[in-house]
Structure formats: structure tokens, C-alpha cells
Structure 1
């Protein structure tokens, strides 16, 4: 490794390479507290695509693994170090290179923070819809690597729906472009779509071209429903799906999460109900608002109301975004992001409750309920190894139930390390063989984020 480090030092400016073990350790994992991590050899912080290319080229020559990372907000261990790797931290490549108002697109480096792009687009009357809960901190490159979703995805889709083109450094160290800038284009395979969601296992993203939408014309309407059980809230979700309405957001959050947020931020929300559904409409259609509220009431809402106060409505959605970091303050959190057909949401929520009882663990619940993407959060007391073992059993059982109900083990967080067993159960041997063939073709030496996904 001495020869490799000498070559790396000769290729890059000295301030781009860090060998300090404490700094390297601080960049060696994401937010998945239970995912294992290895010991990295070095941390590289490139400022441009050429420095990424030089780094990957040297890693390929010396058979050194490369683990790309953005802000480290992932929840599956996808950015965790492996032994002897170079950590490639792309958060310093954070320039918005272009916003084209005529073509309604933006070109950004991978380290641009999601909310910063959204704010910059809004200055031109445009909007970038994908909005994971980590949007104030997560990067567009990381969002693309995991195909992140968010609150708005029930109506507006996930990251892959907005990525038009990518600049990629391949495993061989070539700098290539895939995709397009046009609204349509079917020339060749959809390689941009392939790289989105590949979690850094097929190439390193160094630039992203995304399409933008016009900002909605109507102020949003927020409808809140409070329920005495998760299953009733799930029945309301199924009713909304059956009604034909597509809200711009339909989020679930339980009292345990609200109380954790209150204890942290003192927002005064914990006594609103045992389970809340937060519906948002951006069409200005009064009939849709009435239908949404009726769905809540007929499913057994203890109360439902329409928020006329924009500040109050935003506070509720802010609480939803803050739920995960608030729970982290209570102890290690094992996070799910299973996704099931919307009609199966009540059954899936019931099964989650049963697993909490069976395995004697506490499972808090938040969800992008409108598209069936559930986030049961298994909270374990610090230092309780027996509870940790029970939590892992509950985690795997929830993955199996999602598959059994026609769903998937991950709706937006990615496979990383935590869901590899579940992915194998979901896909089966023949489809996994296709994945491995693609990996082998694009990364024959296996240096790009090895051990992740498959």
C-alpha cells in the first residue's frame, strides 16, 4: 500500500488526501448505526471530476477498493468503509453549474445539498420535487446513488424520475456521460437510469443533470386526521388510494415519534393523537380536499381538520422530518423502509404491531403512507444486547412480510449492507445473476463499493 499512497500523493494536491485515522473514522460510516464498517486506508476529498478520475484510475491499477460517499445521511450502510479502501468524499464538489429556465433543468455537482438546489430553482420559479427527510443535509449525488424519494414522491416520483443525465467515472477510470438533456430520448440502453440507485457499485457520479418543474400555482391545503390505531390510519390510506385522489403528500407519524420530537424541539405536538395522517393537496381543488377528509373520517378518525394556518401545517411536516433524528437521541435505531401496495398498508401495519409484541421491542412508525412506503423504526435501549438481537429478528421478519404482501424490502433507502438478505429473498437466484453480470461487466475487478447490495 505504500506504493499506492505514494502514487496517490503524486497525482493529487496534498490537501485533498487525509491519512489521519480519527478523521478517516469520522467519514467511515453513514447513519445506519447497526451496519458494520471496515478500516479505510485513506480519505480523498476531490474538488473536480478529474481528481475523481485520477483517484479511481490509481485504485484500479493497485486493486484498492473505492467507497464513494456524500453527506453520510444514508440509512443502510451503503457508504460504510470496507477494509483497505479509499473513502471518496464528494461533498466538496458542491457547485450548481447551471439552471436552464427554458429547458427547465439544472446541472449540479454531486455534493450540492438537496434543499440548496430547491432554493436556487425557486428563485427562477422552478422546483426540484424529490425531497427526502434528510433534504436539509443530504446531497444530490447521494440521493441519486440511492434513488431517494421523500414526502412529495407519492405524486411527483423519486430521484430517477428527474435525472436526465450523469457524468460518471467508471471502474476503469474513464470519464463518461450517460443520458441526455432533452425531454425525450431512447438512444441505446437507459444507462443513466441504471446508475441511479446503484449505490456507487457501478461507477462514481461526478455531475447530475436533473429536470425541474414549475412551482405549483395554488397554495397547499393540509388535511390532518388523528386515529386511535395504526390499522385505522392504514385503512384511511387505502381509502384515499381507492378514491382516485393523488395528494402531493400523505404522511403518517405516531405519538411516540411526536413525543420524541417534542422532547427535543418543544413543538407541542405530542397530544394531537395516537397516529396522525398528514395530507397535502396542491391543486386548489376544494372537492379533493373534502374527499380526502371524508376518507379519514370514514376510516375512523377521532378527529380531522383542515389547517388554515400555513405555519401550523409546516410545523406538522417538520415534525415528520425530524422524527428519525429525534428517535436517535433515545438509543440505537434500526430503520426499515419497506414498501407495499397501498391496499396492503393496513395489513402491513398490523403485522408490524404483531412483530413488536412477539419480539418485545418498541417500534415507532413514520411513513410515506400515500405510496405504501413504511418506515418502522425499532428503538433499542443503549447497551441492551438482548434487545438488539430481538430487534434484528423483528427487522428481518418485517422484510419477509413486505415481500409476502407483494412489496419490496426497500422503497428509497437502498440495500447497502442491512438489506442484502432481504434483497436475495425478494429477487431470487435468476435475477440476482443478472445483477452480478452487470456488476462484473462494469466493474470486473470489483473495486467499486464492494460488498454492497449483492
Structure 2
């Protein structure tokens, strides 16, 4: 592509309201990195802070005319480099698109992508309803980003992931065409099922400008169980045992390194000597909740739990959940991290965790682990040792080997964070050449010029 002329960029600025397009370097610096803090991220050519679907359409038509790449961006909390700035490209931020409309009668909410997940939950809670997808970053991540990566979270072991709640989408394609898919109706099999193509496509097929989301009645108060184990292997065995008998509404794991990082960051009285901690909840109705708690306790004890504590106090339970949510920011205090997102079927969780430990030992790096253990989705967090001149190389090698370990046992290199730019090279190993070719055909059909988020996913 030939360099873009200043006059061409000025035409984009003139086509949109004042203040929508940012071109000053000090402003663009905010849009260089996402939550992955990829050191190769670059300063974008400009940032369009769209305030409406029309702004997105105008931007994409301009980008098509001038053959300029566009990097879609939500709140910038993504952890795979999917919204990293690219030199010569436009970053298109949806952070200003924040409309929300709740329809209690149909149990739906129509939201623009800039609204934060927590804000959606708060808006629907006023009507006695609940939007279940619950990433650890719930307070700072946007619905647009959740849709782009098909985010999961702490509740997905029972309630599913983002895609399970999408009834309708408005999407702007690379050439500025607007698609309106689905709606408030729950059942719809008219035409090809296009919505799933866009949910989880990381902004490579189109830019989501509105979503109609399914809601459920407000969650019942939950009972919380916390158990400590001598080893990660024992905790993993407990997860498998729980899965045979009961479906808790939450089942999370922290290993010893993660426990200690949380205690250093925000002391909560967690057992620093425990090899691992499991956090479980049951929100079953009435007497069924007590029965579920008992089954989980038995599974924990059968796996060799050192201590099991349970409470019906919602506020007390929330303190333990907060400890789990703090694991990543706590570990980030120790330096730059490479965050993995590998998963496998729950019966394979002990094998996956053992392989992660082996990778850490082989490369001589620290890999604390937190996990949505109930559905087999783990987050090994590789801490780069900046005091070691080979620390970066060791961390990168471990990053590759953790993904390889997941694929070797039939698992996945990403359960919810997406491929982004950081995992792109590992994707063909998991999918194989035939599936990669099919993916590229879909991309070519919807974005023939390759303008949307180049370098991501495919």
C-alpha cells in the first residue's frame, strides 16, 4: 500500500463531527496497547472514537476507498493483543457508544458496545433481571470486547458464555454495509446462522455496533465453599470429582503462587502454605442448595482437602470471589506477564495442570495458575524475570510450550481471551490446514481487502 496522503486523512476528519477523530500523538498513545501490553504494539495513524453506527459506516467506507486497515477496539482490556495499535492503521474505538434499553417483558436488553459489562448488569438488575457472563475484569471490560472474544468468566461453568446470550446483532462490514441479524425473539432459524460468525471473531469480520442480549431472572443468593489442598494435583482431582455429581454455579482454582500474590497485593487471610485453593458456589433453590453444598464438600474431602469452609453469607462469599478476581492484577505487580488461556475437557484438567508445571520446570520460569476449573479453562500466568538476561526468551518459549501442551491432549489454546496477535502462530497447530483454509475463505468473503484487524486470528 502506498503511504496515505495528509489530505486523505483530513477528509476523514472532516466527514465526522469535531472531536471524533484523534490524530495527536499524545492522545493516540492511549490506544497503542490493550491489556496484553504487547511490546511490539505501535502508534496508530489516527483513532476514530465513534459515537454512532453512522460514524462506523463512514469510517469503513473511507478505509475501503483508501485501503487503510482498521483495528476495532472496545475498552482495551483484551489479553491477547487483539486491539494493539498498528502503524498506518486506524484504531476504531466504540468506547463512546453507550446506549442501553432494557425490555423486561421479553427479558432482553439492547446495548451498544461501549457499555461495560458491570454497567449492563446494573441496568438490568433494576428490573429484577441478570446478565450472567462474568469475566474477572467485569468492572472494566466492555460488552463489545466480550462479544468480540466470546468472553466467559466465573459463572460460565453453569450459565455459559457470551454467545449463549446473543439474540441479535448490528454489524458493520469492511465496506460499510450494515447487517442486522436476529432480534428479540428467542427462536429463529431463518437463513444461515450468521451471528455466531461475528461473536468471537475478534473484529476480523465486522464491527459490532449493537447487540440484543438474552436475560434471565435475578440470580438466587449463593452458598460459598472454600477448600485448601496440599497440591494442585489434589485440587484438580477434586474438580473432576465435583463434575461427576453436581454442577456448581462457580468452581475456581488458585495455586500457591497465585494465593501468595493476592495476599501480598491485598491481604485477606488466605492460607499461604496451601498448595491450591478451590472456590465453589451453589445457587440452587431451597433445599437443593444445601444438598449441592454437601456433595461438593464430600468431593473436596475425598480428594484430600486440608480444610473446607462454607458460608451462606453473601457478603462473606463475595470477599472470596474478590480474591479470585484480584489474582491477575496482583501478579502484574511482579512485572510483565504473559497470560495464557488454555483449556481441556474437565477429566483432563489434572493432566493439563501437570504439563504446565513441567513446562515451568523445564524453562526455569514462574507460571502461577488461576483457573475457571469447573469447565477446564486455565490461566497460566508466565512472569517474565527481568533480572535474568534470558528471562524474556525463557518466558516466550514457555508461552509456546504451554499452548502446545494443551493441543497435545486435545485441548485448546484459548477458552475465552481469543487469539489476537500473540497466539496467531499457534492456531494452525490446533485447527489443522483444512479448518484454517475454511476460516480464511469466510474472512475473504466478508473482508476481501483484508482491512479489518490484520494480523489477528488468521
The answer to whether TM tops 0.5 is yes
CA drift at 1:272: 7.2
C-alpha distance in 2, partners of 1:144/1:106?
14
Taking structure 1 as the reference length, what is the TM-score of the superposition? 0.97
Instruction: Tell whether 2:317 aligns with 1:313.
Output: yes
Tell me the alpha carbon deviations over residues 181-226 of structure 1, each in whole angstroms, 9 at most, x when there is no partner: 2110111111111100000000011111100000134x20111110
Name the structure 2 match of 1:232: 234
Does the CA contact (< 8 Å) of 2:113 and 2:210 recur in 1?
yes
CA drift at 1:3: 2.7
Name the structure 1 match of 2:138: 135
1:293 to 297, 302, 307: 297
Q: Which range moves more in the overlay, 53-62 or 386-395? A: 386-395
CA drift at 1:383: 5.9
1:32-181 paired onto structure 2 within 5 Å: 32-34=36-38, 36-96=40-100, 98-181=101-184
Name the structure 2 match of 1:222: 224
C-alpha distance in 1, partners of 2:17/2:162?
33
CA drift at 1:270: 4.7
Tell me the alpha carbon deviations over residues 76-111 of structure 1, each in whole angstroms, 9 at most, x when there is no partner: 000012220111111111121x11111100000100
CA drift at 1:4: 1.9
Name the structure 1 match of 2:14: 10
Does the CA contact (< 8 Å) of 1:35 and 1:417 recur in 2?
no
Tell me the alpha carbon deviations over residues 17-36 of structure 1, each in whole angstroms, 9 at most, x when there is no partner: 11111221221221113463
Tell me the alpha carbon deviations over residues 162-191 of structure 1, each in whole angstroms, 9 at most, x when there is no partner: 011111111011122112321101111111
CA drift at 1:258: 2.5
- Poorly superposed stretches of 4+, deviation over 4 Å: none
Instruction: Tell whether 2:427 aligns with 1:426.
Output: no
Name the structure 2 match of 1:263: 264
User: RMSD of aligned C-alpha atoms?
Assistant: 1.3
Name the structure 2 match of 1:205: 208
Q: Which range moves more in the overlay, 14-23 or 267-276? A: 267-276
1:292-371 paired onto structure 2 within 5 Å: 292-371=296-375
CA drift at 1:385: 4.3
Does the CA contact (< 8 Å) of 2:223 and 2:313 recur in 1?
no
Instruction: Tell whether 2:217 aligns with 1:249.
Output: no
Does the CA contact (< 8 Å) of 1:99 and 1:107 recur in 2?
yes
SS of aligned partner of 1:276: strand
C-alpha distance in 2, partners of 1:391/1:9?
42
C-alpha distance in 1, partners of 2:266/2:310?
24
CA drift at 1:269: 2.4
C-alpha distance in 2, partners of 1:91/1:258?
33
SS of aligned partner of 2:106: coil
CA drift at 1:264: 2.3
C-alpha distance in 1, partners of 2:273/2:316?
12
C-alpha distance in 2, partners of 1:360/1:117?
43
Instruction: Tell whether 2:408 aligns with 1:404.
Output: yes
SS of aligned partner of 1:15: coil
| Residue-pair matches, total | 451
SS of aligned partner of 2:326: helix
Does the CA contact (< 8 Å) of 1:165 and 1:210 recur in 2?
yes
Name the structure 2 match of 1:21: 25
Consecutive unaligned residues of structure 1, counting only runs of 5 or more, are none
Taking structure 2 as the reference length, what is the TM-score of the superposition? 0.96
C-alpha distance in 1, partners of 2:213/2:273?
38
Does the CA contact (< 8 Å) of 2:342 and 2:403 recur in 1?
yes
